[in-house]
């Protein structure tokens, strides 16, 4: 096949024959060795002689294509530039895609990878007052509440915040207890005594004398002087 010795330089490597060059780059060859030899002897670049399928011309009836700002003479040249199968580029073309759309989005210059997916919150996770705890036990341990105390409070109808000691627990008055309204808040005698530091009997007597509930809790108590 080779009448005279030749020297070929391809991709920085020197070859002493056509067959040596062809066999060393067989993984990218798209034609037979006779076609490769004929093309190189006719002046075609080695890479193009190896990779251009036989019978394909550089210009096709589909015309040129502008992809990512670069003009390509045909669809096979786009496939070679992006390392794609020609069949993939042709399929995208026949689906109506043109220009940069001929290549998959991940290979485009303007491709922006989507943000990483956030892991869904654990079903044990607990958020209270804007603070996220990995579990109920961690919340109780951090806030200094025993787990059984939390559960007992929750079973009594307290909110999560009240059960964790973040909000005060308001005791419900006994059934039938008289409620007095002070500053828009309805309280029983025991609650009034604790909140305003007044004897329930004194408060009740003042109200019976005609004082308002507000006056009854704010009026100072007069201390009688005992005679010696």
117 within some domain: no
Residues 103, 80, single domain; the answer is: yes
58, pLDDT greater than 60: no
* Cα–Cα distance, 169 to 155 (Å, whole number): 13
In this predicted structure, the answer to whether residue 198 has a pLDDT above a threshold of 70 is yes
Mean pLDDT taken over the chain? 83
What whole-number distance in Å separates Cα of residue 47 and Cα of residue 132? 61
46 and 75 housed in the same domain: no
Q: Is the pLDDT of residue 4 over 60?
A: no
Identify whether 225 is part of a domain.
Answer: no
Domain membership of residue 103 as a residue range:
65-107
> Does 190 share its domain with 164?
no
pLDDT at position 188 over 80: yes
Closest CA to 204 of 178, 186, 167: 178
Mean pLDDT of 182-198: 83
Does residue 176 surpass a pLDDT of 60?
A: yes
- Answer yes or no: do 69 and 45 share one domain: no
Is residue 57 included in any domain, yes or no? Answer: no
Domain count of the chain? 4
Classify residue 58: in a domain, yes or no.
Answer: no
For residue 15, name the pLDDT band (cuts at 50, 70, 90). Answer: very high
Please indicate, yes or no, whether residues 165 and 187 belong to a single structural domain of this protein.
no
Say if residue 72 is in the same domain as residue 97.
yes
Query: Is residue 45 predicted with pLDDT exceeding 50?
Result: yes
pLDDT at 173 over 80: no
Q: What is the pTM of this model?
A: 0.32
Is position 121 within any domain? Answer: no
For 72-130, what is each residue's pLDDT tens digit? 888 888 888 888 888 898 899 989 999 899 999 988 888 888 888 877 767 788 888 88
CA distances in angstroms from 47 to 128, 196, 208, 210, listed in the order given:
66, 96, 110, 109
- The two tokens of residue 149 are 């105390």
How many CB atoms are located within 10 Å of the residue 46 CB?
19
Answer yes or no: is 3 within a domain.
no
Residue 23 inside a domain? The answer is yes
Total residue length of the chain: 228
Does the residue 122 lie in any domain?
A: no
């Amino acid at each position: 096949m080779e009448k005279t010795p030749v020297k070929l330089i391809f991709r920085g490597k020197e070859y002493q024959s056509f067959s040596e060059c062809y066999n060393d780059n067989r993984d990218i060859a798209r034609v037979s060795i006779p076609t490769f030899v004929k093309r190189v002897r006719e002046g075609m670049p080695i890479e193009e002689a190896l990779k251009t399928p036989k019978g394909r011309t550089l210009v096709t009836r589909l015309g040129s294509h502008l992809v990512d700002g670069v003009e390509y003479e045909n669809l096979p040249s786009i496939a070679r530039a992006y390392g794609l199968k020609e069949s993939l580029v042709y399929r995208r073309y026949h689906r109506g895609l043109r220009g940069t759309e001929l290549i998959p989005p991940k290979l485009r210059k303007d491709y922006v990878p989507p943000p990483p997916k956030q892991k869904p919150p654990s079903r044990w996770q607990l958020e209270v007052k804007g603070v996220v705890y990995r579990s109920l036990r961690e919340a109780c341990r951090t806030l200094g509440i025993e787990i059984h105390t939390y559960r007992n409070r929750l079973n009594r109808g307290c909110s999560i915040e009240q059960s964790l000691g973040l909000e005060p627990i308001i005791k419900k008055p006994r059934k039938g207890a008289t409620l007095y309204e002070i500053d828009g808040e309805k309280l029983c005698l025991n609650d009034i005594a604790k909140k305003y530091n007044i004897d329930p009997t004194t408060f009740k007597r003042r109200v019976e004398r005609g004082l308002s509930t507000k006056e009854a809790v704010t009026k100072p108590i007069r201390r009688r002087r005992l005679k010696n």
